[in-house]
């Protein structure tokens, strides 16, 4: 079965993947063509990676176009068979979240304060993850500095 997952990483994308996978017969394989030019939800990204890695013997992924933010995370974290089509490029950066700020210069709600603390914790998890990949120390340091780090097609091939 061939599945195309294109666009932002959302719950709808995850549902589409699960629905397609549930339609497989025992001897089928799910081949996913994946592109993600805008990123998406970090929590859904984790769920998609978890799902693919738990079913890696039945899933192959072909990446194309732009793999930015959540898309790059999926590229780096999945453990299934991977291929990259020509002209594919990527971008990795730390996850981010919008929040309200009051005139006091502080988060405007308890949830925003809580989220800010959680985001700081997730930074350490992201750095630990990046160290398990083939990213160079320079690339990881640029991510640590809060930069968007871009990857050419040639570099993407090296990261498989």
Domain ranges of the chain: 2-159
pLDDT of amino acid 99: 78
Residue 43 neighbours by CB under 8 Å, 6+ apart: none
pTM given for the model: 0.90
**Would you state the structure tokens that stand for residue 106, as one six-digit string?**
């502080």
> What 3-state DSSP class applies to 71?
helix
Could you read off the pLDDT of 86-129 as tens digits, one per residue?
Answer: 999 999 998 877 778 888 888 888 888 888 888 888 888 899 99
User: Looking at per-residue confidence, does 142 or 27 come out higher?
Assistant: 142
Class in CATH terms, 2-159:
alpha beta
pLDDT of amino acid 115: 82
In the chain, DSSP finds a helix count (H) and a strand count (E) of 6, 6
> What 3-state DSSP class applies to 132?
coil
Stretch 130-141: mean pLDDT, rounded? 96
Task: Give the number of other Cβ atoms within 10 Å of residue 139's Cβ.
Answer: 19
Could you read off the pLDDT of 35-93 as tens digits, one per residue?
Answer: 999 999 999 999 999 999 999 999 999 999 999 999 999 999 999 999 999 999 999 99
User: Looking at per-residue confidence, does 160 or 115 come out higher?
Assistant: 160
């Amino acid at each position: 079965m061939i599945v195309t997952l294109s666009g932002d990483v959302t719950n709808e994308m995850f549902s589409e993947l699960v629905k397609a996978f549930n339609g497989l017969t025992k001897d089928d394989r799910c081949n996913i063509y994946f592109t993600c030019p805008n990123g998406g939800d970090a929590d859904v990204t984790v769920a998609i990676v978890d799902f693919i890695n738990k079913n890696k013997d039945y899933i192959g992924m072909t990446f194309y176009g732009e793999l930015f933010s959540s898309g790059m995370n999926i590229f780096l974290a999945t453990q299934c068979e991977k291929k990259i089509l020509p002209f594919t490029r990527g971008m990795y950066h730390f996850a981010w979240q919008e929040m309200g700020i009051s005139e006091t210069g502080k988060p405007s709600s308890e949830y925003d304060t809580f989220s800010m603390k959680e985001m700081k914790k997730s930074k350490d998890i992201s750095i630990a993850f990046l160290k398990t990949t083939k990213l160079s120390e320079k690339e990881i340091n640029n991510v640590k500095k809060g930069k968007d780090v871009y990857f050419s097609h040639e570099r993407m091939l090296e990261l498989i």
